[in-house]
Amino acid sequence: MVLTKAELISRLQHEVHVLVHLCGKVQPAMIDYRPTPKQRSTIELLRYLTAVGRGLIPSIKAGVQQVEQWES
């Protein structure tokens, strides 16, 4: 599926809106919650999701996956 620039921006904005909404639901007592020992805690998951978002933008702008940025 190919998206226009406007469609991509709209979908990214929606994802950010969802992430901000979910972050607002997290209470301080939930930060260290880890479903199982091998899964991320709530704070680790939130950090991961925000890093992934920032990491995608250069790849989207370049039109190719920026592998070196993900490896660093």
What tokens were used for 14?
Answer: 């929606």
Whether pTM exceeds 0.85:
no
Q: Which domain holds residue 27?
A: 5-71
- What is the predicted pLDDT for the residue at 64? 75
Report the domain count for the chain.
1
Cα–Cα distance, 68 to 72 (Å, whole number): 6
44, 7 contact by CB (below 8 A): no
Q: What is the pLDDT of residues 28-72, one digit of tens each?
A: 999 999 999 999 999 999 988 888 877 777 777 777 777 776 666
